[in-house]
Amino acid sequence: MSNNTRIVLIFGGFVTAIAAAFYPIFFYPLVHKDEYRDAQKMNRAGINQADVQPVGVKVWSDPFKPVEK
């Protein structure tokens, strides 16, 4: 195997490993927004956000909801 082929395989393996690591962290949630939104509705049911929010910090809002004018 030539030296250039070995470098290409090593670099390609590195890029593949990075892509495989980023898929479940970034791309899967980006594509499946409804699943994550539904899971958060179930997890946050019965919680008053103003009671658990630290003093002086804005209460969490849905980032998927359009901005109201």
Residue 69, pLDDT > 70, answer no
The reported pTM is 0.49
Q: Given phi > 0 = left and psi -120 to 50 = alpha, else beta, which region is 67?
A: beta
The pLDDT value given to residue 14: 97
Among residues 62, 12, 18, 10, the alpha carbon closest in space to that of 40 is found at 62
Q: Which residue ranges make up each domain of the chain?
A: 3-44
Q: Which of 65, 46, 49 is nearest to 57 (CA)?
A: 49
45 token code pair = 């049911």
pLDDT tens readout for residues 13-39: 999 999 999 999 988 988 998 998 888
